[in-house]
Amino acid sequence: MNQAIIRPFYLGLLAWLCVFFVKAEDPYRFFTFEVTYGQISPLGVSQRGILVNGKFPGPTIDCITNDNVIVNVINKLDEPFLLTWNGIKQRKTSWQDGVLGTNCPIPPNSNWTYQMQMKDQIGTYSYFPSTKMHRAVGGFGAINIRARAVIFVPYLKPVEEFTLLISDWWKSDHKTLQQTLDSGKTLPMADALLINGHVQSTSFTTQKGQRYMFRVSNVALTTSINFRIQNHTLTLVETEGSHTLQESYESLDIHVGQSASFLVNLNAPLKDYFIVASTRFTKPVLTATSTLHYDGSTTKASLPLPWGPTYEIHWSMKQARTIRWNLTANAARPNPQGSYHYGTIPVTRTVVLANSAENINGKLRYAVNQVSYANPETPLKIADFYNIPGVFHLSSIKDSPPSTPPVIGASVMGFTLHDFVEIVFQNNEGTIQSWHLDGSDFWAVGFGSGQWNATLRKRFYNLNDATTRHTMQVYPNSWSAILVSMDNKGMWNLRSAIWPRRYLGQELYTKVWNDEKSSRTEYDIPLNALRCGKAPLN
Ligand SMILES: *[C@@H]1O[C@H](CO)[C@@H](O)[C@H](O)[C@H]1NC(C)=O
Ligand SMILES: *[C@@H]1O[C@H](CO)[C@@H](O)[C@H](O)[C@H]1NC(C)=O
Ligand SMILES: *[C@@H]1O[C@H](CO)[C@@H](O)[C@H](O)[C@H]1NC(C)=O
Ligand SMILES: *[C@@H]1O[C@H](CO)[C@@H](O)[C@H](O)[C@H]1NC(C)=O
């Protein structure tokens, strides 16, 4: 090698090293979210909504695996407010989770800056207000985390991605809905279903012959949906951060809080088609449509709308069993998803959680193992950090449904860091349930009808290629089982994703703990942490 060659090589190495050191810290993305009331009219009549930066739905957070996402939330509402990041694991940062068990709410006319990292995550997620009934009138938006350039994704690249947020909608103001629940009544049935804030006026322009990705999230408060596109097949590629086996579907059920990404090939005759979302297991069935517009088409989408299931529960159960992990595909890291053989890990503890509707002091409440959760003034996480007595205790909820009368309380279940836990959601009610866990995703290993018992593991659990997810449906009078590795230290909300049930107590927290005090397992309380209740001022 002569000097002339060595020099560029050396300079190249230097440049590479510089890039390497700059990259040693993951990129930052900064957002300012101003949250205000504003007049919107999803149903053609002006009503009060909650806007983020003047928008309903709010802006999409587009980012890449491992990005640091900094969001300064400015609360211009007349009530304390928090956003939570549905499905974002908050690795080591339960301080940023944005629920009343971990954070003091942001008072009106003030702001708070969330600092979180999209650590080892890819996929389609959402954010929404976690306080009161705010999300019934907006404040929600999408979070799309794309894979790093060095990671091979197991599907052909789409030319464009579309984000669809499906929500249910009421003509009533959020404060009226809240009063209804506060007075001990059930929430009335929604008035409409919306796609990106509209019943039928959104449109997506596409080029014939191309491939598109549709990222669909069910951000509704109450209802499962069925999603479909007229004359087009949906190829499922991702659910909540898992790359699935790429099955084709005419339509797919997406339950409250869940999300799915599809690839769609635009290979039908040149015209427009209906994109349809309709409610599941409700009477009446609510439907929202949107237009899939082929560029150059002058022919409007034509009725009838494509068929979708409405009450069929068995149909949904059967379909859910076809959603499986692609064991050889990467997720956010280059190692295959299936290299983590979850089915071989010994379970350290089994917890059975039964939901119920109760009458407590003459009012409707929802409970988990006979405890209906009520938020203490002091966030659990802060009480725990400062050892403030009297806020919660770990024996407040049992590992299986007791036969004692229902009570109101602050239920926290304690786990040791790295416990591998089986949680069975037992639903003895005639309505569908949806359960969401913050802080970790879990393997959705199985579900079945009736009462769960240990002998059903053998027959019904998928211990090989169940997907990981953060939200699990539980069919009426049925059970669903998940396996979860409690490997994220913190205080985590385990809640009904069905919002009126959560508002009236169907939630609890899990405290994941070990005594090591180190930023290797959990970051310290943030410097800007808000104070409330019995929290010391600094
Ligand atoms: C509030 O916003 C300002 C910038 O407008 C920022 O400097 C400050 O850190 C924010 N406060 C908190 C508590 O995040
Ligand atoms: C769309 O599919 C329906 C049946 O599902 C069929 O009757 C119709 O001809 C198709 N239309 C087009 C334009 O492909
Ligand atoms: C599974 O992932 C691999 C990439 O490892 C991909 O080539 C394959 O097509 C995927 N299989 C299915 C059925 O989705
Ligand atoms: C477990 O449940 C199944 C299905 O309901 C039932 O057939 C079986 O008898 C139960 N086994 C035990 C030990 O309770």
The CATH number of whichever domain residue 226 belongs to comes to 2.60.40.420
- Residues 310 and 313: their CA atoms lie apart, in Å, by 9
Q: Does residue 535 lie in a domain region? A: no
Ligand 1 proximity of 113 Cβ (cutoff 6 Å): yes
Lookup: tokens for 238 = 């991702």
Atom of ligand 1 nearest to the CA of 530: 13
Residue 126 maps to a domain: yes
Measured in Å, residue 31 CA sits from the centre of ligand 3 at 35
Which atom of ligand 2 lies nearest, measured to the CA of 307? 5
Among residues 102, 117, 146, the one where a domain terminates is 146
Measure Cα distances from 149 to 146, 152, 241, 332, 342 in Å.
9, 8, 17, 11, 28
Give the mean model confidence (pLDDT) for residues 12-29: 57
Residue closest via CA to ligand 1's atom 11 equals 112
Domain co-membership, 114 together with 169: no
Q: Give per-residue burial for 317-327: e unless 16+ CB within 10 Å, then b.
A: bebbeebbbbe
Question: Are 164 and 142 part of one and the same domain?
Answer: no
pLDDT digits (tens, 9 = 90+) for 353-365: 999 999 999 999 9
286: nearest Cα among 199, 187, 165:
199
Cα 451 to middle of ligand 4, angstroms: 8
In a shared domain, residues 264 and 351: no
User: Do 134 and 169 share a domain, yes or no?
Assistant: no
- Please indicate whether residue 472 or residue 13 has the higher confidence score (pLDDT): 472
The pLDDT value recorded for residue 336 is 94
- Exposed (0-12), middle (13-18) or buried (19+): which is 501, by Cβ within 10 Å? buried
115 lines ligand 3 (CB under 6 A): no
Question: Tell me: the pLDDT tens digits for 6-16?
Answer: 343 444 444 44
Residue whose C-alpha is closest to residue 251's, from 276, 281, 288 = 276
Q: Which residue matches tokens 């549709």?
A: 214
Q: Whose CA is nearest to atom 5 of ligand 3?
A: 329
pLDDT at position 8 is 39
Residue 377 C-alpha to ligand 2 middle, in angstroms? 57
The least confident of 243-257, 281-295, 330-344, 410-424 is 330-344
What pLDDT digit, counting tens, does each position of 250-305 carry?
999 999 999 999 999 999 999 999 999 999 999 999 999 999 999 999 999 999 99
AA identity, residue 529: A
Q: How confident is the model at residue 340 (pLDDT cuts 50, 70, 90)?
A: confident
What are the tens digits of pLDDT across the range 475-511?
Answer: 999 999 999 999 999 999 999 999 999 999 999 999 9
Pair (361, 488) in one structural domain = yes
Average pLDDT of the residues of the chain: 95
Residue 329 belongs to some domain of the structure:
no
Q: Which residues line ligand 4 (CB under 6 A)?
A: 450, 453, 455-456
pTM over 0.85: yes
Counting from 1 in the atom list of ligand 1, the atom nearest the Cα of 112 is 14
346 and 305 share one domain = no
Say if 530 falls within a structural domain: no
Nearest protein CA to atom 6 of ligand 2, as residue: 231
Residue found under tokens 């669809």: 164
Q: Are residues 99 and 188 in the same domain?
A: no
Do the domain assignments include residue 525? no
Same structural domain, 97 and 180: no
- Same domain flag for 291 and 394: no
Report CA(208)–ligand 2 centroid distance (Å): 16
What pLDDT score does 5 carry?
40
CA of 151 to the centre of ligand 3 (A): 14
Q: Which ligand is nearest to the CA of 336?
A: 3
Q: In terms of domains, do 314 and 189 share one?
A: yes
Is residue 196 in contact with ligand 3, taking CB distance under 6 Å? no
Q: How confident is the model at residue 24 (pLDDT cuts 50, 70, 90)?
A: low
pLDDT (0 to 100) of residue 2: 41
Residues with a CB atom less than 6 Å from ligand 2: 231, 268-269
pLDDT in tens, 161-215: 999 999 999 999 999 999 999 999 999 999 999 999 999 999 999 999 999 999 9
Q: What is the structure's pLDDT at 271?
A: 97
Instruction: Tell me the ligand closest to 229's alpha carbon.
Output: 2
- Confirm whether 348 is domain-assigned: yes
Q: How far apart are the first and last CA of the chain?
A: 63
Same domain, 125 and 64: yes
Number of domains the chain is built from: 3
- Residue 430: domain span: 340-513
**28-40: strand order across its sheet:** 47-52, 28-40, 68-75, 110-117
Tell me: do 353 and 474 sit in the same domain. yes
Span 82-134, pLDDT tens digits: 999 999 999 999 999 999 999 999 999 999 999 999 999 999 999 999 999 99
In a domain, 352, yes or no: yes
Q: Which of 455, 457, 479 to mutate to test the pocket of ligand 4 (most atoms within 8 A of CB)?
A: 455
Ligand 3, residue 336: give the atom nearest the CA. Answer: 5
| Residue 151: inside a domain | no
Q: What percent of the chain has pLDDT over 70?
A: 96
